[in-house]
Each structure stands twice: as structure tokens, then as C-alpha cells.
Amino acid sequence: MMNIVLLEPEMPSNTGNIGRTCAATNTRLHLIEPLGFKLNEKALKRAGLDYWDKLDVQVYSDYQDFLDKNPDAAGNMYFATTKAHKVYSEVKYSSDCYLMFGKESAGIPEEILVQHEDHCVRIPMWGDIRSLNLSNSAAIVLYEALRQNGFEKMERNGRLHHLQWKDEA
């Protein structure tokens, strides 16, 4: 199972959107406090729609609490940052990796990034754009990791329902 880790997320709508993406991909969502919202806020539930109850979500008091409770994240975590030297599509993701994203206003603290520089990844952007929306960034990196693992156990085929149109001439 893939893992999305949000370090101190601030906006309930972004976390709700990411939660919906996690539910749609059977990805566990890890939330590291402090959160900029309450988990029962309407904006969070509205963005996650009716999928929030299908979500595997874990909450941690701080970064160290997360590390203590997820020892398998060591060496198996990628840190999304505009400061990375590698593009997100240039690394090989395991089927149980952790993808960390920082808070909307500041990203992942530099002291964490420096400790894991080889596992930092970025999404290329044009010009002087500072960053993408957090929920968009999470979806982009997650779907690359899922693609690399063959979209394991995910529905890959859609079905069109052919409608019969009457010609009322």
C-alpha cells in the first residue's frame, strides 16, 4: 500500500482532496500535527465528498511520532520539494513507499530535506512559478508511483454505456 504523508497541512480543502485521491487509490494518508484545521471541519469533508469513511488515515503528534510509528518509512520515503535536484519521475518507487508533502505556506523544513537530499523530488514548473497546489502535487507524484508499480489491484478498464439516440426528424 502506498502512503501519502502530509506534514502540518494548513488547508482543509487540500487535505480533503488528497484524502479523496487516497481513497480512490487505496493509499494510506498520514497527517502530522499541528493541523491548520479540525478533522471534523465541513470544508475537509466537502472536499473529500462521501469518501472520507473509506479512507485509511493516521494522525501523529509530530514528525518524530510519525517516524517512531512507521519504522518502514526509513529509506523508503520521498520528499516533494521545489528545492530537489531530481524530478519525481526519475526515481523508482516501491509499492509501499511514503510520499511526503509539506505545509502549503512553507513546504518541508530544510533540516529534514538536508538529511534526505537523495530522496527529494520535484515537479518541473515553468518560469518563476513558486509551486503547484498541494493536492495537485500529491496526485501527480502518487500516480507516477502507482504507474511504476503497474497500478497494482486498481481498475484499469472503463466501460462506455452506449446510448441509443432516436432521430426525431
The Cα 25–Cα 145 span in angstroms is 11
The answer to the question of whether 102 is labelled as a binding residue is yes
The answer to the question of whether 129 is labelled as a binding residue is no
The answer to the question of whether 61 is labelled as a binding residue is no
3 state SS for 79-127? EECCCCCEEHHHCCCCCCCEEEECECCCECCHHHHHHCHHHEEECCCCC
Task: Please say whether the dihedral angle defined by the alpha carbons of residues 89, 90, 92 and 93, taken in this order, is positive or negative.
Answer: negative
Integer CA distances (angstroms), 26 to 22, 63, 119, 139, in order? 6, 23, 23, 13
Binding residues for S-adenosyl-L-methionine: 102, 123, 131
Binding residues: 102, 123, 131
